[in-house]
Amino acid sequence: MGGALRVNHFGWRLADRKIAVLLGNGGASVQVRRSDHSVAATVTAGPAATDEDSQDSAAPVDFTTVTATGDYYLYVPALGLRSYAFRIAPDVYDVVGAAAMKAFYFQRCNHSKALPYASDALPGFAGRGAQWADGACHLADAALMPGPGSAASGTLDLRGGWHDAGDYQKTLWSRGVPELLFAYELNPGAWRDGQLNLPESGNGVPDLLDEVRWELDLYVRMQRPDGHVLSSAKGRDATVASPPSASDERRVYFDSTSPEGGGWSGGGVTLTRATASAVLSLAHAAIVFRGAGQAQDGERYAAAATAGWAWLQARAVPAPEAPLKASAASAVFRMDPTIAGARAAADAFDWETWNGTAGSSASPGDGVIALGAWHYLANASGTAVVKSQVRAGVAQAIVETAFREAGVYGGMLGEPGNGWDWSWGSNRNQAAYGANLMLADRFGAVGSRASGEVRFLAQKYLHYLLGLNPLNMLYLTNMAAYGGEHSSFQIYHAWFSHSGGDGDHGNAQYNGKPAGVDEPLYPYHPGATQTSVHGPPPGFVPGGPNAYYSGSYRLADRARPPYAYRDFSVGCDWSGSACRAASWEITEPMQAYQGAFVLLASFFMSRP
């Protein structure tokens, strides 16, 4: 087993174009072998060419002609090279989407993780018997006080919601929620009740909606009587972090209309951002839950979105937040076409000439413009002229941008000095490129490009995240039980990489490759050899390669962006005043990464 043959470690559907990558060796003969080592096909690698981002000399290996369901691997007889195993099947991506969606359950705040739910068992997959049980955490969230500098709204019940990332804060930035709602709305056949092994499974509601409701109900609780929404609930000064139920951090909330200060963890959320983000998600949730027959929830979310919009409409926003307000307006206009102010704000925005990208930024701007564009195009009440402008803007900013950067592994925007997408959270950008291309295709906004070529490029980004990349990394945690090899086993996470109050030391239960997992290329880096009993829960999306990584730990190859990665979880490793490790810049998961990935995967999951 070597790293010279790159494949999607889960595989391809029957009718997909199937193109793997062989380093160098253009023109080599490559066998497609079944799991019993018999030869299903022999193909010839194309000419090797230099990939722009990785600088790899990469030869395409096209085996599209293999369409029979089964387990396979690639083999180069002249070189003695073989690939990881993969599967060809109609439902090959179903467990991928389900595991990534189930990861949100392990991020629930104020909720116990109990067996049989807190395990790697998914319907159709028994798993390895791994488990991640814990009691309810941060119970004081039911009576939180405001943090320093925040508006004095008194004691509030702010139960629910997800931990935002590897820490335990809860934020109103709509991280992941819009993407999950589109994943269900546009691909409802991919999601069903009982799919994720949740406590709510069996209630007649698709599990995805049960899970996203846990977050949305926090949004409603964080809304104030005048309609605006608080920005976050955060903590600091913890002496024990792991497991979450033992965390002793002091918790407070912050108001979106006040600066976040006083030395508390996390950056500021300026002025209207939290409210606009909540309105965008709540209006969309009203549409989706009503459409799924959950009228009571739909009406609650509609009322909250309407009140939030009334507050937001009355206020000017800073220029960087104008796209976010416009996208919120677009969602509200779609939810209720009679809200004239929302329609006017959505119609007035310049959807055609925005300087967007196929990626999705964590800050207000390009990413949220795309969300607003999809809502406008999905709105039967939208103005035809504006829809034409939206389609033109999407075709230029998203579709043509992606094709301009297309390479053997997908391709991302920029150069080292001008905001390269190979930055903190690059895996989110990978997922957002692919998802936005699929959305553009779904809404007929591909410009001069053919639908088939847009979908093919979109799937390249999924292939990248599932192993067809320069490091052979499956950028999901602990997927071996589901057939995914070379997955991540070390992420920066307060629960899964720490133990009690030990800071940088690894958690023997959850940090590192489980002893029962056969992974021939582990450790992926000689300085990251940790093993554990269970590993982290399956399906978490780590941040990804970061060409701007500020730590001093050695990565695979910092000079080539897709190689600027290391599967490790050391937090800081202080040296004087310098933080040498900073693994959070590379391996910390975040709901924004998770939601984008689930949305992308949903387009390729099977339908009953």
Residue range 309-339, pLDDT digits in tens: 999 999 888 888 889 999 999 999 999 999 9
Helix (H, G, I), strand (E, B), or coil: what is residue 476?
strand
Instruction: Please choose, from the candidates 126, 68, 107, the residue with its C-alpha nearest in 3D space to the C-alpha of residue 591.
Output: 107
Q: Give the CATH fold of the 94-468+593-602 domain.
A: Glycosyltransferase (1.50.10)
Question: Could you tell me the two tokens for 563?
Answer: 């190689």
Residue 258: predicted pLDDT: 55
Contact 497, 511 (CB under 8 A): yes
Contact 181, 78 (CB under 8 A): no
CATH 2.60.40.10, the chain: domain bounds: 5-88
Backbone angles phi, psi at 125, to 5 degrees: -135, 110
DSSP strand pairing (39-44 vs 19-23):
unpaired
Residue 420: predicted pLDDT: 77
DSSP strand pairing (29-34 vs 70-76):
antiparallel
Residue 266: predicted pLDDT: 39
Q: Which residues of the chain have pLDDT under 50?
A: 260-269, 360-365
Residue 262: predicted pLDDT: 39
- Kindly report, residue by residue over 431-478, the tens digit of the pLDDT: 999 999 999 999 999 999 999 999 999 999 999 999 999 999 999 999
**Tokens 């300085």, located at residue:** 527
Contact 306, 332 (CB under 8 A): yes
Residue 221's identity, in one-letter code, is: R
Angle at 565 between CA 563 and CA 566, to 5 degrees: 130
Rounded to whole angstroms, how far apart are CA atoms 496 and 535? 8
DSSP state of 400: I
**194 — alpha (psi -120 to 50), left (phi > 0) or beta?**
left
Residue 153: predicted pLDDT: 79
Residue 405: predicted pLDDT: 86
Top-level class of domain 5-88: mainly beta
Instruction: Name, in order, each residue with C-beta under 8 angstroms of 583's C-beta and a sequence gap of 6 or more.
Output: 490, 492, 551, 553, 566, 568, 569, 570, 571
Reported as type and span, the H/E element at residue 221 is helix 207-221
Centroid of chain to Cα 600 = 9
Residues pairing with 466 in the sheet: 474
Residue 573: predicted pLDDT: 87
Residue 439: predicted pLDDT: 97
Residue 408: predicted pLDDT: 92
Residues pairing with 33 in the sheet: 39, 73
Contact 107, 176 (CB under 8 A): no
Q: Give the number of C-alpha atoms closer than 13 A to the C-alpha of residue 126, restricted to the C-beta side.
A: 2
Centroid of chain to Cα 332 = 24
CATH 1.50.10.10, the chain: domain bounds: 94-468+593-602
pTM of structure: 0.96
